[in-house]
Homo-oligomer: A and B are copies of this chain.
């Protein structure tokens, strides 16, 4: 097995107010986000399928022209190449899972 101790992760700032650590597998990338209240993610898209898992807080997510307020336990499937943007209404923790691997998140 590949085991990752919770103490071993070092978060890095990816965008203002968005810090994360990553785990890459053979087929998927896992992004564990900590987001500050008020931080905004501008619209973007990528060829990866993305699954947003809301862990803590309240996050406003827009995919194509549809907006949802995500609360803990909410799940969203963002299809490949769909434009999406978001804003943290409170401090948040989110787990995003991508398929295939996000090579641009390997550092």
Contacts and interface: CB of A to CB of B under 8 A. Distances in A.
B68 A1 contact: yes
Q: How many copies does the complex hold?
A: 2
Interface string A59-92: 0010110101001111111110010100000000
Nearest to A61: B1
Task: Give the secondary structure class of A's interface.
Answer: strand
B2 A53 contact: no
Contacts of A71: 6
A19 to B, nearest CB: 14
A28 B97 contact: yes
Contacts of A55: 55
Contacts of A76: 1-4
